[in-house]
């Protein structure tokens, strides 16, 4: 059985490196975690509830960074939140640290890590080579984000209420943010492929 071909990720195209150095990875992880922090604080008016841009950032980072660096970046972001930095949506007003992470939105936070790793894996398998592949990956990532989020919320309020409060109001926004992530990946790839 032959090993799967690893396709270059978006960051490989933008910042090529023969060796994946620790410094390069650390810089990208810090930049990515800062983007996640900013996206958690960016409120966008949507119907029926306002949204943050966090899921768009997760989708983009996972797909652009690849599985290992994408997961490491999200892990760094979650670590920042765990030690009490107000990096999550609604912090510090709704609490901070591990207490916040174990609350009703904890499943979505866990989903961030899963989504980043999966989308990075799909990008490394060539899903980003076409618009259809990129869109399919973003759709899979968006669905996966809701699975642990709704499941965790259901332990607090029951399944029906978890769907009513943790899924239904966010579907339209999730579709818009996935489409935006597809557009961002496409624009970044076109920039990376321009002759210098």
As a whole-number percent, the residues of the chain with pLDDT over 70 amount to: 94
Q: How buried is 97 (Cβ within 10 angstroms: 0-12 exposed, 13-18 middle, 19+ buried)?
A: middle
Q: How buried is 196 (Cβ within 10 angstroms: 0-12 exposed, 13-18 middle, 19+ buried)?
A: exposed
Distances (CA, A) of 185 to 8, 103, 123: 13, 32, 11
Q: Span 48-73, mean pLDDT?
A: 92
Q: Which pTM was predicted?
A: 0.91
> Which range has the top average pLDDT, 35-49, 65-79, 91-105?
65-79
Tokens of 159: 């399944």
Grouping H, G, I as helix, E, B as strand and the rest as coil, residue 3 is coil
Domains in the chain, CATH or no CATH each: 10-193 (1.10.1760.20)
Q: Span 176-194, mean pLDDT?
A: 90
């Amino acid at each position: 059985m032959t090993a799967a071909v690893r396709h270059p990720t978006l960051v490989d195209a933008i910042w090529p490196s023969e060796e994946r150095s620790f410094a390069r990875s650390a810089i990208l992880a810090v930049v990515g975690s800062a983007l996640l922090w900013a996206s958690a604080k960016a409120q966008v008016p949507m119907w029926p509830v306002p949204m943050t841009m966090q899921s768009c950032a997760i989708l983009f980072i996972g797909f652009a960074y690849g599985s290992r660096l994408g997961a490491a970046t999200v892990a760094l972001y979650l670590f920042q939140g765990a030690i009490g930095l107000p990096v999550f949506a609604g912090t510090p007003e709704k609490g901070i640290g591990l207490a916040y992470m174990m609350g009703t939105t904890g499943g979505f936070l866990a989903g961030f890590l899963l989504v980043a790793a999966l989308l990075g894996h799909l990008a490394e398998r060539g899903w980003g080579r076409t618009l259809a592949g990129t869109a399919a990956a973003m759709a899979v990532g968006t669905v996966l984000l809701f699975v642990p989020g709704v499941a965790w919320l259901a332990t607090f309020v029951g399944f029906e209420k978890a769907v009513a409060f943790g899924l239904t109001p966010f579907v339209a926004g999730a579709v818009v943010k996935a489409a935006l992530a597809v557009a961002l990946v496409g624009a970044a790839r076109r920039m990376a492929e321009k002759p210098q």
